Amino acid sequence: MRVTYTNIVYSRHCGSRDIHDLLTAAAGVSRWSKIILRDINGALVSISPTMPVNNEDTAYSVESSTPENGEANDEILQGVLSHVAEQVTKAFRINEMKEEMVSRLTAMEKKIEREGMKTVEIGQCRKELNYIREELFAAKSHHARFCKCAAPIADSVENRIVSKRDVPKYSKYTLSNETIEYLKKPTFDIWHWESNEMLCLLEHMYHELGLVEEYNMNPITLKRFLLCVQENYRNNPFHNFRHCFCVSQMMYGMIHLCGLQKIYNLFDLGILLTAAVCHDLDHPGFNNTYQINARTELAIRYNDVSPLENHHCAVAFKILSNPECNIFANVTSEQFRIIRQRIIMLILATDMARHSEILEKFKSQIKAGFNFKDTEHLTYLNMAVIKCCDISNEVRPMEVSEPWVDCLLEEYFNQSDREKMEGLPFAPFMDRDKVTKPSAQIGFIKFVLIPLFESVAQIFDVLNDCMIVPLKAALQKYEDMKDEEKLK
């Protein structure tokens, strides 16, 4: 019998069953198997969130009374062992960080105690002290419980901290007239810009549209808001800050391209752009299907109803609850109620599980005669527009759109690999052994993208040349690639 050690990290809100499932998954047995936990003296340990914190020298042992198929599947065990090594490395890094933080904290405290220190220096030191204490607290909050088996540890989304910065950290960029005009076009190449430049371009969008004046925003607050948004996008292959910028730039482009300034007031445009900026905040890189099947904290919290989209909304308004980042601080209570209601509605509309429902309703309104004065009609138009922006990559030139396919497939493959390791159902279109670029894109373009964009183009016919034509060209390109694959 092979034995390995690792640490299990879980939220204090976890239930006993959740911890039990971690242990069964780690042991490679059915989640319904009976699990027994013992300490180093052989005494039984109750499986619960309050079980004592231990260490490698006093690791608990995990026993299963009903092993599945005798020994754990080698493939599953290999995945567990790989994850164990990763988690042990993380544990050592946390310990190193804690030691470094303690050292820095001690040095700073001694510095403040020195006589003759200038007031300005003391103020600066106190700021640094607060920052160090926050880092130290974050490191200490990772309580480890060591066991002889462990399941893959899910990211603790609820413990994500919304970052705050006292002053903007990115430089002032001067945008050329060519860049300013290029930013309004769907052909904009988002790969040529680094993070600080993307922040600057987002800031420009708010100023150019007149939203800073409309909402009476403090320009420094806008900078802090965008910085905080950036910090709360994870480094996923696809759902990252560049994707956020990509969707926001397409929204900005559609506002100009479709002349939405003539249909909406600035108050409405601010809601559309901000919803695009916040639409995937703190995305963990695993979709709703995984959240629900794995019974993650997000799925439990939101009762399996759009768990990710609900979380994106929650993080967005957590950021806005910080006065230093609240770009809507100067609106009335009634206006903020409307802003919150509409941003939530728009972000929830990006759940692809609702795609058919939203599109069919929108089509029925167009068929009956779309009315720009009808509130319900405008609501579905807004949802259709943000959906277009969210999945608009194939509208862009091939050299811009194709790298996004690679990013998306990498994220899909990461998920299916994890689902296989955890014994969960996995979608064929995410299986690295079956999917190719053409097979991934042909059906999506033909049955999702083109019907959606053609519907919106019935209201804004300018989209036919600049979006429908590129979509059909992309479809033909992938069909040609598929034919070439068959010939090989």
Question: Is 242 annotated as a binding-site member?
Answer: yes
Please tell me the distance from the alpha carbon of residue 392 to that of residue 449, in angstroms, as a whole number: 8
φ, ψ (nearest 5 deg) of residue 13: -90, -5
Please tell me the distance from the alpha carbon of residue 17 to that of residue 377, in angstroms, as a whole number: 46
Sorted by sequence, the CB contacts under 8 Å of residue 242 that are 6+ apart come out as 190, 198
Q: In degrees, to the nearest 5, what angle opens at C-alpha 40 toward C-alphas 36 and 46?
A: 35
Please tell me the distance from the alpha carbon of residue 409 to that of residue 416, in angstroms, as a whole number: 10
Query: Using H for helix, E for strand and C for coil, what is the string for 115-169?
Result: CCCCHHHHHHHHHHHHHHHHHHHHHHCCCCEEECCCCCCCCCHHHCCCCCCCCCC
Which has the closest alpha carbon to 252: 282, 209, 290, 291? Answer: 209
Question: Is 279 annotated as a binding-site member?
Answer: yes
Q: In degrees, to the nearest 5, what angle opens at C-alpha 120 toward C-alphas 118 and 124?
A: 115
Tokens found for residue 235: 């480094």
CA of 275: how far to CAs of 135, 371, 481, in Å?
30, 23, 36
CA of 112: how far to CAs of 106, 194, 279, in Å?
10, 38, 43
Please tell me the distance from the alpha carbon of residue 170 to that of residue 184, in angstroms, as a whole number: 23
Sorted by sequence, the CB contacts under 8 Å of residue 292 that are 6+ apart come out as 299, 304, 307
239 among known catalytic residues: yes
Considering 20, 239, 283, 312, which one is annotated as catalytic?
239
Please tell me the distance from the alpha carbon of residue 179 to that of residue 177, in angstroms, as a whole number: 5
Question: Is 204 annotated as a binding-site member?
Answer: no
Tokens found for residue 41: 């003296």
Question: Is 390 annotated as a binding-site member?
Answer: yes
Question: Is 336 annotated as a binding-site member?
Answer: no
Strand pairing class (6-8; 35-38): unpaired
DSSP label of 44: B
Question: Is 192 annotated as a binding-site member?
Answer: no
Residue 36's DSSP bridge partners are 63
Question: Is 241 annotated as a binding-site member?
Answer: yes
DSSP labels, 363-396? HHHHHHH--TT-HHHHHHHHHHHHHHHHT-GGGS
Question: Is 243 annotated as a binding-site member?
Answer: yes
Residues annotated catalytic, as ranges? 239
Binding residues for Zn(2+): 243, 279-280, 390
Binding residues for AMP: 239-243, 280, 390, 441
